[in-house]
């Protein structure tokens, strides 16, 4: 399969090139040249297949030309070592719980898949060690670090802003050891990102070591997110609830929902999608007006959705050939303030006993307000509420149980290397590695 850039100014890339480069040289995002429909027979019997079996069929449509079947199967099966259950919250509303992986957020799926695919390419080429640099404001670092943990031939450097991530988040990437190094930067997230960008542009450094990035626009992190939309459909079909299915996705950078839209293009019988925003509602405004006006993000309690210029908007436009009308025919939007998010977490907990996290709460509320007669809604519960402990406990006035997996991270000993935000010292450190 060839991958083209959404900016159309870069040469087409192979899967391997797209995965290793991440972003195209014209700064566009890679898109697969074709999105293959899956046969009707697959949908006819999908409810009898396991998550792994379903995901392999989807993976084969994207990656089957480039990765041998047995290898691809193993990558998919290893990646999805946890369940993604669709849990009924109330009549006609289901939660697709994407938080049963190692770091309790949906980014585990893409992070784990990408690590394994990159590991395969490196082995195949007999390349020397590849070094992954990733800047994080919290959740990405943990998903990427845990995804790559123990993968041969790859070393991961997580750069994070000192004192600006929660204790739980920090523990998830500073306690791992092995091939993961945490660099605690005396600066902001933007400083971390600048260090990473400068490293990619530095000729001397690139001659010394092979560098790559694991950010969320990478096709190997983006495409595997389609897997669980098919599994959600399978579960609802089994429950007899799949006829008029509406899928609602709490969205920030729009990678997650775009993978779902790819699924629909492959024939997945979803009636329509909803994108739930927090106050950073650039996409919502686009749907209303047809104008895309990026603006600086504002901080909210659904912080993983605080994005002012969603990268994957370029992929949405490419998928619908820039047609606002076509986009609006399949996707609607919603936007909520922190106050509304709090209200929703609290009321849902009181009325149903189900504890939402602040991101999932946007998705749930959009369904509550937007479902039409005869429709069934499923929202993506993108992270476990315990990852936002103080916020959620503050809202419900109760203690939240911390899952064993999170507790295990808390017990580990933090190991990090302190780093100034000055590029020369970062470079000197890497040159000694
Ligand atoms: C990353 C993230 C999101 C946003 O997903 P996008 O793919 O960027 O739209 C939503 N919720 C949580 C918990 C996240 O970590």
* Residue 259 to residue 17: CA distance in whole angstroms: 20
Closest CA to ligand 1's atom 14:
304
* Residue 145 to residue 237: CA distance in whole angstroms: 35
DSSP-assigned beta bridge partners for residue 222: none
* Residue 428 to residue 148: CA distance in whole angstroms: 24
The per-residue pLDDT for 414 is 95
* Residue 242 to residue 235: CA distance in whole angstroms: 8
Per the model's pLDDT, the better-predicted residue between 217 and 31 turns out to be 31
* Residue 133 to residue 183: CA distance in whole angstroms: 10
Q: CA 341 → CA 12, 139, 282, 303, 347, distances in Å? A: 42, 20, 18, 12, 10
CA of 253 to the centre of ligand 1 (A): 7
Residue 252 Cα: closest atom of ligand 1: 9
CA of 311 to the centre of ligand 1 (A): 12
Q: CA 178 → CA 33, 52, 152, 381, distances in Å? A: 37, 28, 10, 31
Q: What sign does the dihedral 164-282-354-51 (CA atoms) show?
A: negative
CA of 229 to the centre of ligand 1 (A): 15
Residue 383 Cα: closest atom of ligand 1: 13
The model's pLDDT over 336-372, given as tens digits with 9 standing for 90+, comes to 999 999 999 999 999 999 999 999 999 999 999 999 9
To which H or E segment does residue 208 belong? helix 203-208
Closest CA to ligand 1's atom 15:
304
- Which one of 117-126, 324-333, 383-392 scores highest in mean pLDDT? 324-333
Mutate-to-test residue for ligand 1 from 140, 226, 253, 278, highest number of ligand atoms within 8 A of CB: 253
Tokens encoding 51: 């998550």
Reply yes or no on whether the pLDDT at 428 is more than 80. yes
Alpha helices in 239-337 (DSSP H): 255-265, 282-289, 313-319, 324-330
Reply yes or no on whether the pLDDT at 216 is more than 80. no
What letter would DSSP give residue 80? T
Mutate-to-test residue for ligand 1 from 29, 97, 105, 223, highest number of ligand atoms within 8 A of CB: 105
Report residue 313's pLDDT band, with 50, 70 and 90 as the boundaries.
very high
Cα–chain center distance at 20: 18
Reply yes or no on whether the pLDDT at 15 is more than 90. yes
CA of 308 to the centre of ligand 1 (A): 13
Residues lining ligand 1, Cβ inside 6 A: 105, 107, 139, 250-256, 304-305, 359, 382-383
CA of 302 to the centre of ligand 1 (A): 9
Kindly write down the DSSP assignment for every residue of 84-137, as one continuous string.
Answer: --EEEEETTEEEEE---STTSBTHHHHHHHHHHHHHHHHHHHT---EEEEEE-S
For residue 118, give the nearest of 131, 103, 136 by alpha carbon.
131
What letter would DSSP give residue 322? T
What letter would DSSP give residue 14? -
- Once rounded to an integer, what is the mean pLDDT over residues 212-221? 87
Average pLDDT score, the chain: 95
The model's pLDDT over 244-300, given as tens digits with 9 standing for 90+, comes to 999 999 999 999 999 999 999 999 999 999 999 999 999 999 999 999 999 988 889
Mutate-to-test residue for ligand 1 from 218, 229, 250, 314, highest number of ligand atoms within 8 A of CB: 250
Residue 253 Cα: closest atom of ligand 1: 8
Question: pTM of this prediction?
Answer: 0.94
The answer to whether 182 and 417 have CB atoms below 8 angstroms apart is: yes
> What residues have CB less than 8 Å from 32, skipping those under 6 apart?
1, 2, 3, 62, 219, 223
Active site residue 325: no
Kindly write down the DSSP assignment for every residue of 54-69, as one continuous string.
Answer: HHHHHHHHHHTTTS-H
The answer to whether 178 and 165 have CB atoms below 8 angstroms apart is: no
CA of 60 to the centre of ligand 1 (A): 25
Q: Which of 73, 107, 171, 421 is catalytic?
A: 107
> What residues have CB less than 8 Å from 361, skipping those under 6 apart?
302, 336, 341, 344, 345, 348
* Residue 86 to residue 379: CA distance in whole angstroms: 9
Q: CA 71 → CA 51, 114, 123, distances in Å? A: 18, 13, 12
Q: CA 15 → CA 32, 192, 344, 412, distances in Å? A: 9, 28, 42, 37
The per-residue pLDDT for 432 is 94
The per-residue pLDDT for 126 is 79
Tokens encoding 276: 């739930």
CA of 257 to the centre of ligand 1 (A): 9
DSSP-assigned beta bridge partners for residue 160: 184
Reply yes or no on whether the pLDDT at 38 is more than 80. yes
Residue 360 Cα: closest atom of ligand 1: 11
Report residue 27's pLDDT band, with 50, 70 and 90 as the boundaries.
confident
Quick one: 60 exposed, middle or buried, by C-beta within 10 A (0-12, 13-18, 19+)? middle
Closest CA to ligand 1's atom 1:
304
Closest CA to ligand 1's atom 11:
382
CA of 364 to the centre of ligand 1 (A): 15
The answer to whether 113 and 221 have CB atoms below 8 angstroms apart is: yes
Residue 387 Cα: closest atom of ligand 1: 13
Residue 357 Cα: closest atom of ligand 1: 13
Mutate-to-test residue for ligand 1 from 256, 278, 356, highest number of ligand atoms within 8 A of CB: 256
Closest CA to ligand 1's atom 8:
253
Tokens encoding 405: 């997996």
Kindly write down the DSSP assignment for every residue of 143-179, as one continuous string.
Answer: HHHHHHTT-TTEEEEEEEETT-S-HHHHHHHHS--TT
């Amino acid at each position: 399969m060839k991958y083209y850039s959404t900016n159309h100014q870069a040469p087409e890339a192979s899967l391997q090139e797209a995965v290793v480069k991440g972003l195209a040289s014209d700064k566009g995002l890679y898109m697969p040249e074709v999105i293959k429909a899956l046969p009707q027979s697959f949908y006819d019997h999908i409810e009898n297949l396991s998550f792994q079996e379903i995901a392999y069929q989807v993976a084969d449509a994207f990656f089957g030309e480039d990765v041998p079947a047995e290898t691809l199967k193993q990558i998919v099966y290893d990646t999805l070592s946890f369940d993604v259950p669709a849990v009924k919250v109330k009549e006609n509303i289901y939660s697709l719980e994407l938080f049963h992986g190692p770091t309790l957020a949906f980014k585990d799926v893409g992070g784990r898949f990408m690590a394994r695919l990159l590991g395969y390419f490196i082995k195949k080429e007999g390349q020397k060690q590849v070094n992954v640099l990733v800047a994080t404001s919290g959740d990405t670092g943990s998903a990427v670090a845990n995804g790559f943990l123990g993968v041969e031939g790859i070393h991961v450097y997580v750069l994070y802003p000192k004192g600006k991530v929660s204790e739980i988040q920090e523990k998830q990437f500073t306690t791992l050891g092995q091939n993961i190094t945490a660099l605690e930067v005396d600066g902001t997230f933007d400083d971390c990102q600048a260090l990473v960008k400068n490293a990619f542009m530095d000729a001397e450094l690139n001659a010394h070591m092979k560098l790559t990035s694991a950010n969320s626009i990478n096709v190997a992190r983006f495409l595997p997110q389609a897997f669980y939309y098919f599994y959600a459909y399978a579960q609802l079909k089994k429950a007899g609830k799949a006829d008029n299915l509406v899928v609602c996705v709490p969205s920030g950078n729009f990678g997650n929902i775009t993978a779902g839209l790819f699924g629909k293009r492959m024939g997945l019988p979803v009636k329509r999608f909803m994108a739930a925003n927090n106050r950073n509602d650039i996409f919502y405004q686009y749907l209303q007006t047809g104008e895309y006006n990026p603006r600086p993000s504002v901080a909210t309690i659904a912080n993983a959705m605080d994005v002012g210029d969603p990268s994957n908007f370029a992929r949405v436009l490419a998928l619908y050939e820039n047609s606002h009308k076509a986009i609006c025919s399949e996707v609607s939007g919603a936007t909520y303030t922190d106050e509304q998010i709090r209200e929703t977490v609290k009321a849902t907990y009181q009325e149903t006993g189900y504890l939402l996290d602040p991101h999932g709460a946007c998705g749930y509320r959009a369904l509550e307000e937007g479902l039409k007669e005869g429709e069934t809604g499923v929202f993506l519960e993108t992270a476990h509420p315990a990852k936002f402990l103080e916020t959620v406990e503050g809202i419900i006035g109760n203690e939240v149980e911390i899952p064993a997996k999170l507790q295990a991270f808390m017990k580990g000993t933090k190991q990090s290397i302190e780093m100034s935000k000055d590029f020369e010292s970062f470079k000197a450190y890497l040159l000694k590695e």
